[in-house]
Amino acid sequence: MKVVQRLMMVLAVVWLAGCSSTGGSKDGVAVEDRVDSGMDAGAADATTSGVDGYGDLTIESLSDPNSPLAQRVIYFAFDSSEVAEQDRPLVEAHAAFLAANPTVKVNVEGHTDERGSREYNIGLGDRRAQAIRRMLEFQGVAPNQITVVSYGEEKPAVEGHDESAWSMNRRVELVYVGH
């Protein structure tokens, strides 16, 4: 069953990659270690060129609550590394922005809930982060723009021992970094 699920995921990602396009690029883009800590004055002119209907995504879009780039957390089902259908447009928006701005880099951080062994959770967090990395790369993001790390259960977003806490901890976070 796992093989069929993986095959379906690969086919879906390949299909999405075939449907995507990348816009032009702007050089000289700089992003602070954490986007919400401030902006570099030279970064304001970085934009995409309307990739896949996302309009002009700029560095400011990362902190604009109305922009798809403001959302940087992708949640996962229990014991799964499959990106949910409703989260694919979010990943596509980030891919469009990154592909159009090749000097911008992102950390893809995988997380799990507390259930399972530490080793298992590190592996699951990595599988989740790798799934997002693959989607970004299939949509034109250069591999050198992406760093993947798994924290497993070590950095919970929410403390608690019930489904409401666990569901918030099963996630991948996209963290934009400077150079």
Mutual orientation of helices 118-138 and 88-100 as an angle, nearest 10°?
A: 60
> Which pTM does this prediction carry?
0.69
Adjacent-strand bridge partners of 58: 47
Predicted pLDDT at 112: 97
Query: What number is the average pLDDT over the span 79-94?
Result: 97
The full set of domain ranges for the chain reads: 2-177
How many angstroms separate the Cα of 103 from the Cα of each of 11, 25, 48, 81, 152? Answer: 29, 9, 13, 28, 28
User: Is the CB of residue 106 less than 8 Å from the CB of residue 177?
Assistant: yes
pLDDT at 26 exceeding the cut of 70: no
Query: What number is the average pLDDT over the span 27-45?
Result: 36
What does the pLDDT look like over 103-162, one tens digit per residue? 999 999 999 999 999 999 999 999 999 999 999 999 999 999 999 999 999 999 999 999
- Ranked by mean pLDDT, the top range of 12-26, 45-59, 109-123 is 109-123
User: Is the CB of residue 9 less than 8 Å from the CB of residue 131?
Assistant: yes
Query: What number is the average pLDDT over the span 83-93?
Result: 97
Between residues 84 and 56, the one the model is more confident about: 84
Between residues 94 and 2, the one the model is more confident about: 94
The CATH class given to the 2-177 domain equals: alpha beta
Q: How confident is the model at residue 64 (pLDDT cuts 50, 70, 90)?
A: confident
pLDDT at 36 exceeding the cut of 70: no
